[in-house]
Amino acid sequence: MKTLVLLFICCLPVYGQEVAKTCVIVKRHVHKFGEDMSRMHPHRPFDYVEGNYPADFKWRSELSDGDVRELQQKGGILVVMKPDYQASDLEDARKQCQSQGEK
């Protein structure tokens, strides 16, 4: 019994720590005429730019609305940029990821 209590007390700080949030930067996908004709299924509305997915989230280069909801439910942060973003927009998105991850 003492061993179980000791094990519980030792493991308590592990469960009390906040898990670091992951952040994914995506851009909205702009559909082009005829793009979906050569695909098995239509293009999803978001394209991956950079960032880290949560550990139990399968990596995808295109994200659907359902993928975005699943990502957020698993504790991930999502920053959406416009399709024609510039380097300064990407830097702003990175700063936004850092500031939201610290909260």
Three-state secondary-structure class, residue 90: helix
Q: Give percent of the chain above pLDDT 70.
A: 73
8-state DSSP, 80: E
Tell me the pTM.
0.69
Mean pLDDT of 59-64: 90
Mean pLDDT of 56-73: 91
Name 38's Cβ contacts closer than 8 Å, sequence gap at least 6.
Answer: none
C-alpha to C-alpha distance for 45 and 28, rounded to whole angstroms: 6
C-alpha to C-alpha distance for 1 and 9, rounded to whole angstroms: 13
8-state DSSP, 42: P
